Structure 1
């Protein structure tokens, strides 16, 4: 049985890594700003942010924290 993939808003995700290297975030932002819409969609599809469901059914990011912050900084909530 296949389970549906839920696509939450980036603002609904809770980080598990509280310290980020902002140079890495800035690098990702500068790279992402060069993408056209189709390229951005493909990039986001290739960088799915894995989450686990925690207490109170809240979603916690377990990887790709820099990518998630880069999306948040640019106002990319859903794609």
Structure 2
């Protein structure tokens, strides 16, 4: 499996969830030796090569950032597509057409591709992105292969729930969001499982 330095990975999104990253970083730091190597190997980063053969991560930004914070400097990647011969404009158009990028800030406003960060660990915190992951982990919806599903759920919660500030508030918010995720209001979102019978 091809390895790449995390510092070389270019992000294709503007935000990530700091709570999720802290939890993943703690998990990686608790491992060592073979266990750590296996944990790293099971989450290779899918990449697309862009102009000047720069590697763009199209998923697992949280994993890459958590590994970086855990002082792991390289990780395995899987090449999805080589778009290095395209112009910068053609590259980003192709990335959008394939839903391999999410150029929106935590406020839902679009960000210019020229303003996207250079490194995965520089992304802005979006509490609702952490909330969407926590709701999925709590059984509020199922993980699917739909691109950017966590962002769709984050935007759904953003329009309906206030954001918490403390860890206690966040846990209560997750419980509330799980109920919301199973309500008819979420019908049509990827991984929707509906109310329990």
Bin of the TM-score, shorter chain as denominator length = 0.7 to 0.9
Give the secondary structure class of the aligned counterpart of 1:39.
helix
* Number of residue-to-residue matches in the alignment: 75
Determine if the alignment matches structure 1 residue 50 to structure 2 residue 50: no
Give the match for residue 20 of structure 1. 16
TM-score (norm 1): 0.86
Q: Which runs of 5+ in 1 are unaligned?
A: none
Moved more, 27-36 or 41-50: 27-36
- C-alpha contact 2:46 2:59 (8 A) present in aligned 1: yes
Greater RCO, 1 or 2 (C-alpha within 8 Å, sep 6+): 1
Give the secondary structure class of the aligned counterpart of 2:3.
coil
Q: Offset at 1:26?
A: 0.2
Moved beyond 4 Å, runs of 4+ = none
TM-score (norm 2): 0.36
Give the match for residue 37 of structure 1. 33
Which one has the largest radius of gyration?
2
Give the match for residue 56 of structure 2. 60
Q: Offset at 1:49?
A: 0.8
Give the secondary structure class of the aligned counterpart of 1:76.
coil
Alignment RMSD: 1.3
